[in-house]
Amino acid sequence: PHVETPLQKWLDRNGYASARVEAKLRERMHDRAPSRTQFGRWRLGRAEPRRDDIVHIVWAAREVSGDPNLQVEELFDFDPANEENW
């Protein structure tokens, strides 16, 4: 089972395929980019991305959406009141 993560909700709500974000990451990071499998784990809540991964994902999402003001909170839940974050 997977969790409906903010990242997945953002992709669905805006009609973006995760492959577009992954392609932007590969374009910039080349062989240092996360694998499709790893990105899928983050997207489906099966693994937690590290800080540098989050920075890269936010950059790629901004590129895909054309929105330089996209905030990290739109893609990731950092709310300490959310029990799932503990």
The pLDDT tens digits for 47-76 are 999 999 999 999 999 999 999 999 999 999
| Rounded Cα distance, 80 and 39, in Å | 24
H-only helix segments in the chain:
6-14, 18-29, 36-43, 51-65
8-state DSSP, 34: P
Whole-model pTM over 0.85? yes
pLDDT at 5: 94
CA atoms within 13 A on the CB side of 44: 9
pLDDT at 85: 78
DSSP string, 40-58: HHHHTTSSPPPHHHHHHHH
In the predicted structure, residue 86 carries a pLDDT above the cut 90: no
pLDDT at 1: 57
Q: How confident is the model at residue 32 (pLDDT cuts 50, 70, 90)?
A: very high
